[in-house]
Amino acid sequence: MATHAPILSPSLLAGDHAALAESAMVVEQLGLPWLHLDLMDGHFVPNLTFGPETLAALRRRGLKLFFDTHLMLTEPHRYIEPFAKAGANLISIHIEPAYDHAAVLRRIRELGCKCGIVLNPGTPAAAIEPHLSLVDLVLVMTVQPGFGGQSFRRDMLPKLTQIDAWRHERGLNFRLEVDGGIDLSTARECRSAGADTFVAGTSFFRAPDTRAFAAEFAEIA
């Protein structure tokens, strides 16, 4: 089992929605490899964001970033093919809605993407345990999803520790991602609990100096 090098995945949700490509280019120009894309349907979470065409438009602008695509959808199985065709590299789906999670994870792989499983703060780690061998990434939400700028929930740290323990005990190789209230301070706490992939939205895009933020994150990692 490999130990993953930490990755900062800035969330485009916190970028300038009138200039999404330019916000994404800030990430690429800093040499950061990943961009996190939050897709919300107004049903599973009380907000609406982007669709597949947004990803396709970013690709047409020449962006080569790894698109870390997080589907906060009641029926993600209806949309994985459009997102894969639009340029997603990894598609993560939530455990909470009722559908055939394993089948959808397999289908994401068939479409040429990596796959991930996500759990909300109120969902126990045991809910995703049966799927750990199927995924490339587990995303632990450290806020209730729907809106950016929320405060980090430290009561999620034991969940990270448990999932990281399962990963080591079973010799699995998935990445362990955190999303919600992640800044330089909370990233340190999550890193200590086993996380290796960090979604930073507000803290990154509203930083006085994004280059300095990325450099400080690299020191944490």
Q: What is the CATH number of the domain that holds 120?
A: 3.20.20.70
Q: Judge whether 2 lies within some domain.
A: no
**What is the rounded distance in angstroms from the CA atom of residue 147 to the CA atom of residue 142?**
12
- Determine whether 16 is an active site residue: no
pLDDT band at 103 (very low <50, low <70, confident <90, very high): very high
Q: Which residue among the candidates 38, 41, 68, 196 is catalytic per the annotation? A: 38
pLDDT digits (tens, 9 = 90+) for 21-63: 999 999 999 999 999 999 998 888 888 899 999 999 999 999 9
Q: Judge whether 173 lies within some domain.
A: yes
Q: Judge whether 136 lies within some domain.
A: yes
Inform me whether the pLDDT recorded for 1 exceeds 60.
no
Read off the pTM. Answer: 0.95
Determine the average pLDDT of the residues in 196-219: 95
Q: Judge whether 74 lies within some domain.
A: yes
**What is the rounded distance in angstroms from the CA atom of residue 90 to the CA atom of residue 30?**
21
Alpha-helix runs per DSSP H in 39-135: 52-60, 80-86, 101-110
Q: Which pLDDT does position 3 carry in this prediction?
A: 76
Sheet with 114-119, strands from edge to edge, namely: 7-10, 197-200, 175-179, 137-141, 114-119, 90-94, 66-72, 34-40
CB 180 within 8 A of CB 200: no
pLDDT digits (tens, 9 = 90+) for 132-168: 999 999 999 999 987 767 789 999 999 999 999 999 9
Determine the average pLDDT of the residues in 107-112: 98
CB burial of residue 64 (10 Å; 0-12, 13-18, 19+): exposed
Average pLDDT, the chain: 95
Q: Judge whether 52 lies within some domain.
A: yes
**What is the rounded distance in angstroms from the CA atom of residue 127 to the CA atom of residue 112?**
26
Q: Judge whether 1 lies within some domain.
A: no
pLDDT digits (tens, 9 = 90+) for 72-96: 999 999 999 999 999 999 999 999 9
Q: Which pLDDT does position 43 carry in this prediction?
A: 86
Q: Which residue among the candidates 68, 136, 179, 183 is catalytic per the annotation? A: 179
**What is the rounded distance in angstroms from the CA atom of residue 58 to the CA atom of residue 21?**
6
% of the chain exceeding 70 in pLDDT: 98
Q: What is the dihedral of CA 179, 180, 186, 188, to 10 degrees?
A: 0
**Domains: count for the chain:** 1
- Determine whether 183 is an active site residue: no
pLDDT digits (tens, 9 = 90+) for 177-189: 999 999 999 999 9
Domain hosting 43: range is 7-220
